Structure 1
Amino acid sequence: MTGTSPTQGIKTVLHPVSDLDKAKAVYSALLGVEPQVDGPYYVGFEAAGQHIGLLPGGGPQGLTSPVAYWHVDDIETKLGELTAAGATVKDPANDVGGGRLVATVLDADGNLLGLVQDS
């Protein structure tokens, strides 16, 4: 498909967890690093160029399974391309802090896809 804006790949994966302390121990062991962000509502790890986030109770998004976030240069353009191709916007682009924009869409099979644009 020509004329579409490319992605930078999957760089962020968020995981809903029921016990943040237990999950933090497991992911620390898996990744071999301690979390860079360690709060009661979010724990985030940076490893091998990827960001792995833990969301207690699925976070405000209500996640029930892990979600991969594709990093893009222009989130609004990518949302337009995805909806033109048949995806449905679940959560429109919103600023989650520091100029980072996040959105989610559902593909034709109902799979949740995340998008991230960093300023």
Structure 2
Amino acid sequence: MLRGFATQTFFAADHEAAKKWYTALTGIPPYFERPGYAEFRLGDYQHELGIIDSKYAPAQAGKGPGGAITYWHVDNIQAGLEKLLGLGATVFEPVTERGHGFVTASVVDPFGNILGIMYNPHYVEVLNANNK
């Protein structure tokens, strides 16, 4: 039933500032925009990250970090964390060794969203197998 990651969405009260922040983080502008919505395609599989004006958030959405954390694969966890912190994010969970080569960290972006990063050897295996 679950076939793959489609779109991760983050809400931001200052949509324009969030769009600029994620453009600085990713190094690319959104590929798709509508008023109050910007979408980036990222990484090896062009996964989507949507930035949505928080006025469109579901009524039951909380006002702070919480819920599930999506981890984006990075090749260098420390360099990724340093870049995020340099852009104004704050540590949610520091670099954590999970065993068997898995390493995670997460931050809260300046807009209150949790962004996870991870070195994931399984991701690398799949990527290498698909590139043969």
What TM-score, normalized to structure 2? 0.42
> Which has a greater percent of strand?
1
Determine which structure has greater relative contact order: mean sequence separation of CA pairs < 8 Å that are 6+ residues apart, divided by chain length: 1
